[in-house]
Structures are given as structure tokens and as C-alpha cells.
Structure 1
Amino acid sequence: MDLLTELSNATNSEKAQQMEKYMRDQFPFFGIPAPERKKIFQAYMKTIDSITIDWDFVEGCWKKEQREWQYIAIDYLIRLKKQLIISDIPRLKQLITTKSWWDTVDGLDELLGYLALQNPEVEKLMLDWSQDENIWVRRVAINHQLLRKNRTNTILLKQILCNNLNDTEFFINKAIGWSLRDYSKTNPEWVRQFIQTHKEHMAPLSIREASKYI
């Protein structure tokens, strides 16, 4: 199965314009809706040996022009995330910091979260990342524990969030709010206390997002 042929055949110029506008005209698109793209990806996965991660495939997708290629690379890595090892983290960081925008970065944070949950030593790295000069690396650190519920490391979460208070960057403040909002579904009192303690240093956006369910 030739992915380029399948994606090209599914091109929709009208939807491509809409997608490009939504992403502030930073990336060109084929214009393939997510459900259709995932069907193409699933059909492709049936034709290949998926036992180990083919990093040449991933990095090749990342270099291609249309944004759907990067989405396919993320879908591929998520499908094979059990094959990820700590030594793959520099490769993941390279993806995070290349063609960076919230759409790909928020797909990649699941992979770092998986690695950190399986390998506690990665938590120290996430703490380091929370102070990185690159906002997208910091965003991954902030959000890497999403959906963990009772498995959330609250000590680490607090440290990472505190490292990013008093920030003016929209995507950082949004991430702080999302991280707190997600954990509030499990432990609303912890989130209330965090907001109460740190509200003078939190952006209104973070407080608004964090308070949605409490």
C-alpha cells in the first residue's frame, strides 16, 4: 500500500483551506478529515511489520509537507508506544521541537507520559523539561500526566506547575489550566488548594480552565 497515493487520492481542496486557516496558515494540508485519515492509516498498518518502531518512517513523515503526514507519524508511535524505550526520548524531543504547534505537541505528550509512567527515572527529565527555554517542551512536561487519575504524581505535578507560574505565554497558561482541570476530576480538593495557594501567580486563563469542574 502506497501511503502517498492513498493520501493524494483523498485530497479535498476545500477542507484543506479550512484546515490551513484553522492552523493560522502555518502548514499545508491534504484536507483529509481525521476519521478518513485514520482509516487510511489503519489499512496501511495491516500491510507492514509493526513489531518494532521504524524511525526512518516516522522521521520521513515529519519531513513531508502536508500536516497529515505528521498526524500519521503520531498515530504510528501511539500504536507502537509499548515498544518505546528511554533512549527514544531525544528522537521524541526532536519531533516536539520541529514544525511545532499544539496539534502535534499534544499528540506527543501521551508518549512521554507513557514512558514516565513505566520508567520513574523519566520524571526527573520531565522536571528539567518544565524549565526548558522551548515552550512546547515545557507544555509536554506540564501535560504529560493527563488522564492518570489516581496514578498522578502530585508532588511532581506541583513542582512542574510552579516552575511555570507567572508566565505570559498563552500555550503554557492553557496547559496549566488543562492539567489542573483534568486532575480536578479525581481530586478536586487538591486543585482547589493549589489555586488558592498560587492564584496571585496564575494567569486568569489558567484559573478559568482549572476551575471548570470544581
Structure 2
Amino acid sequence: MLAVTDLAGTLLGRLDADFSVRRDPERAAAMAAYMRDQFEYFGLAAPAVRAVERSAFAGLPRPTADDLRAVTLGCWERDEREFQYAACDYLRKFVSAADPGFVPVLRTLITTKSWWDTVDPLATRVTGDLVRAHPALVGTMDAWSADENMWLVRTALLFQLHYGEATDTERLFEYCARQAGHRDFFVRKAIGWALRHYARTDASAVRAFVETTPTLSGLSRREAMKHL
């Protein structure tokens, strides 16, 4: 059974109450349909989710690593997708409270209830910031870049998205080349996205990589070269 800290219990209780009173069944059905009926929804638009979060987070102390674990896993156990959005935003706000021991939790969040809407913020902000703070975790990214789970692969491809000049270019290109022939759309798209974004920092390096990597899919190639 998941251990719930006092802070987590308070925060989860606030989210439960505030999300429930704002429920919009008609909008919830439309949102679920848009997401291929993979998740249940309260039916809150993004601004309403942010409003609930601001109220729920207000006045609470900075979380410990245990609080962070309890909050995020507690949100992930709940059915409605808005809870997972709140968990991602809470992690973004307090990712500095996490340490390398948080990686198994992060892996759980990425590989369960997986879709781009939660994986991408977890990859580009949470994982990226955690690895930046603890560089030894690049070994975990190396392992994820070759994992059978496509969402871990996508995370490894995207974790450096906002690193700019601090990007490990060799590692980025290695990951992209390793997964160039991946069959899944979300991996091929992530390759193109990562390359296109890095082109803002070093366009010539991205152009050269694309031109010398014939195994890249057409989708990855088009995305990478979109602004070059």
C-alpha cells in the first residue's frame, strides 16, 4: 500500500475536492474521446486545472522527497487524468526536492498511464532537470534510450530538449541514430523534435547529422529540417 505523508494527504484531499466540484460531464466525455478513451476526465480545461492547482498547493511547505513520491504516485493511482496533470506540474515546481532515488518513481510515471500529454513534461522538464542536477544519471538515460518501452526511449531522446549549449551533442545524435528505424510514430516524432530544437543552437551540426544518417525516417527528417 502506498504510504501517504501528511503533506500528501492534505494536497490530495484538496485536489479531490476541488476537481470534483468543477466536474463537467459533457466536456469530460469529449476530452476522453479526443484521447482515444484511454483515460477518464473531470472535464476541466487547462486554465481551470491550473486554478485548482494554485489553490491546492497554496500554503503548504516545501515537499521532502518522500512527500514528492507520495503526491505523484497518489495522483497516478486516481482515475481522472487531471490528477496526472497536477502531478506533473507539482514535479516541475519542486523537482529540486527529488534525488537520484526518485528515478524508479519517475520510471513508473513514464511507463504507466502513458501518453504524450504526461510523458513530454516528465521528459523535458522533470527528467531533464533531475539529470542536470545529478549528471551521473546520464547512465540511466543511456539505458532508457535502448529500452523496449517506447516512452522511456522518447524520454531519453527529449531530456536534453532545453539544455541549449549545454547539450551533449554526441549523446543526442547517438540516441537518434540508435532509434532511427524505430517503428513507432512517437519515437520518430521525438527524434525530429529533439533535432529541430537543437538546431536553434547548432544548425550546421543538425544538418550534417541528418545528411549523413540515411536510416532516419522521413518523419524524423522532415521535423528536424523544418526550419533549416
User: So what's the TM-score if we normalise by structure 1?
Assistant: 0.96
1:138 aligns with 2:138: no
1:7-156 equivalent positions in 2, closer than 5 A: 7-53=19-65, 54=67, 55-109=69-123, 110-156=125-171
Question: Whole-Å Cα distance in 2 between the matches of residues 51 and 204 of structure 1?
Answer: 44
How far does residue 91 in structure 1 lie from its aligned partner after superposition? 0.8
What CA distance in whole angstroms lies between the structure 1 residues aligned with 2:14 and 2:158? 35
Q: Show structure 1 runs of 5+ residues with no match.
A: none
CA displacement at 1:170 relative to structure 2: 0.5
Q: Which amino acid aligns with 2:51?
A: K
Count of residues in Structure 1 that have an aligned counterpart in Structure 2: 213
* SS across alignment from 1:121: helix
Provide Cα deviations, 1:55-88, integer angstroms capped at 9, x if missing partner: 2221111010000011111111111011111111
Query: Secondary structure of the residue that 1:2 maps to in structure 2?
Result: helix
Q: What is the CA distance between 1:182 and its match in structure 2?
A: 0.5
TM-score, scaled relative to structure 2: 0.90
- State the percentage of identical aligned residues: 38
* Counterpart AA for 1:33: A
Q: CA deviation at 1:146?
A: 0.6
Note if 1:187 corresponds to 2:211.
no
Letter in 1 for 2:20: S
Once superposed, what is the RMSD of the aligned Cα atoms? 1.2
Which amino acid in structure 1 is aligned with residue 48 of structure 2?
E
Q: Please report how far the alpha carbon of residue 14 of structure 1 lies from its aligned counterpart in structure 2 after TM superposition.
A: 2.4
CA-to-aligned-CA distance 1:104-151 (integer Å, 9 cap, x gap):
111211211112112221112111110001000111000000121111
CA contact (8 A) 2:75 2:86 kept: yes
Equivalent pair of 1:29/1:68 in contact (CA under 8 Å): yes
Distance 2:174 2:118 in 1: 25
- What stretches of structure 2 of length at least 5 have no aligned partner? 1-12
Task: Give yes or no for contact 1:168–1:203 (8 Å, CA) kept in 2.
Answer: no
Corresponding residue number in structure 2 for 1:165? 180
Q: Give the 3-state SS of the residue equivalent to 1:91 in structure 2.
A: helix
Contact 1:6 1:40 in 2 (8 A): yes
**1:48 Cα deviation (Å)?**
2.0
Distance 1:148 1:22 in 2: 32
Q: Which amino acid aligns with 2:34?
A: Y
In structure 2, what is the Cα distance between the partners aligned to 1:152 and 1:103?
A: 24
CA distance in 2, matches of 1:25, 1:169: 20
For residues 57 and 81 of structure 1, what CA distance do their matches in structure 2 show?
12
Shift of 1:18: 2.1
Residues 79-100 of structure 1 deviation map (CA, whole Å, 9 limit, x = unaligned) = 1011111111011001111111
- What SS class does the counterpart of residue 29 from structure 1 fall into? coil
Q: Secondary structure at the match of 2:212?
A: helix
Moved over 3 A (4+): none
